[in-house]
Amino acid sequence: MALFLIRTEGLHYGHSQLRYFCTRSTMKKGLVLGIYEAEGKDGIALTPTAARYNEKVNGKLLKNICLAGPKIKKAETRVFWGLDESEFAGIAVVGLGKPNLGINQLEELHEGKENIRIAAAAGCRALDSVEIKDITLESLGDAEAAAEGAGLTSWFYQEFKNKEKQKTLPKISLYNQEDEEAWRVGTIKALAQNWARKLADTPANFMTPTIFSEEVSKTLTDLGVQVTVHDKAWAEQKGMGSFLSVSRGSVEPPKFLEINYKGKEDTSVPPIVFVGKGVTFDSGGISIKLSAQMDEMRADMGGAACVVASIKAAAELKLNVNIVGLIPLTENLPSGTATKPGDVVVAMNGKTIIVDNTDAEGRLILADALCYAQEFHPKFILDIATLTGAIRIALGGAATGVFSNCCELYEKLRDAGTITGDRVWRFPLWQHYNDKMTKSVKAADVNNVGKGKGGGSCNAAGFLREFAGTDTPWMHLDIAGVMGPGNEELPYLPPGMTGRPTRTLIQFLQQIA
């Protein structure tokens, strides 16, 4: 029987070929193999695993690749049928680009690992598109990166579609059994980010502060992580007037999650504190947002989602580190009881805040969480939030904006982003921006919006600095630009909320542990 291929860019083929393709695809099992760009006559080189498979099928794989022409470029895929009818219906061969690529210092990116993620995703999508749902993937030279690319691309949010119309997600397994541990780590990272994506993409009426608390409690408690859900009365007793001011416009009660992961036997070791912004829907309050794309504000708890997903992965990887997760949860809605522009509220550390814009609410809830974080005498504090539209203007979706009072801490995070392909970029944390939030204020200690034009993300960081303390190393991550819902920045992420930068946080924790 004649062999033929499908190019994923689109190939017109006859009815007889289509019938053969449909017959083969019902076998439901496929294999993804890699190929490099190389010098020489053919301009290609099989990965070691692909070379062994080529020997197994008596050279038919390489022969058909050469017949298909032109050479397979980076992320391009060809699907071949009939090479190995006893085991795999289709073989997807995907381009990995040039071999032996490492860190590109200018790009701050490990190009080899990123090419593998992209290739793994492309190969799995190619087989999935022809209804092969049982996919085996070779390591492509880095099983962890391959698992990440495959795991992220094979899931998307479809919880509320009719069950009959929901797409069956592919089952993906590893071909190279010797790489099982690296594959396991990559799978844990991908599943953690997918959980963050799910939390962020769930409609706000199905992801209230109460529901978020319940889901996180169930998931993390099953992993041996301690989760405490504090209520409004607890926050009032702690003096969290800034946090509670945001919740005043909603009938949904606020919650404050306190999560403890104890990976070290010595509990006297100072913990790391992660603080995540948990606004489960943000209308802007009285300073209401424009209606266009307001539905995306269901993901304004993206920082909280990243924190809980990172702790989930830390528990599954059994990382040797102690982590405290702090998550203030609320909705920000307009009503007769909502905070009004010009109102003054009092934070946990006693500083008064004049709320000139109720849509700058994320910094208000983080202020009290940062104050509370200092009670744990942490090694350092990291907060993460979909905080400012200004960061999206500055960076687009290419990177997370970072502000820090500790160069060493930032460099570790930057290194983590270089490895994961989900990069970070540092912005200034200068007194200039603190002054914009404090010195022009006459009716209170701090204003929640800066005076003058420009520097919105820096102003917000300057505000948070007033509550982060002066003696503790601290990093603030602004993820408003990378939360989604597009997928134009990372080709292995389907459209929807992204869960970024969960894998960078996990890698960061691995490096510290």
Question: Active-site positions?
Answer: 289, 363
| Alpha carbon distance 460, 446 (integer Å) | 11
Token pair belonging to 294? 């307001």
| Alpha carbon distance 132, 61 (integer Å) | 19
Token pair belonging to 365? 């809830």
Q: Which residues in 412-447 are b (16+ Cβ under 10 Å) and which e?
A: ebbbbbbbbbbbbebbebeeebbebbbeebeebbbb
Q: Do 94 and 77 form a contact (C-beta atoms < 8 A)?
A: yes
Give the type of residue at 126.
Answer: A
Angle at the Cα of 407 from the Cα atoms of 112 and 270, rounded to 5 degrees: 100
Alpha-carbon torsion, ordered 35, 103, 153, 19, to 10 deg: -10
Number of H helices, E strands in the chain: 16, 21
| Alpha carbon distance 398, 490 (integer Å) | 9
| Alpha carbon distance 347, 96 (integer Å) | 52
Q: Do 355 and 448 form a contact (C-beta atoms < 8 A)?
A: yes
| Alpha carbon distance 309, 149 (integer Å) | 17
Other Cβ atoms closer than 10 A to 9: 8
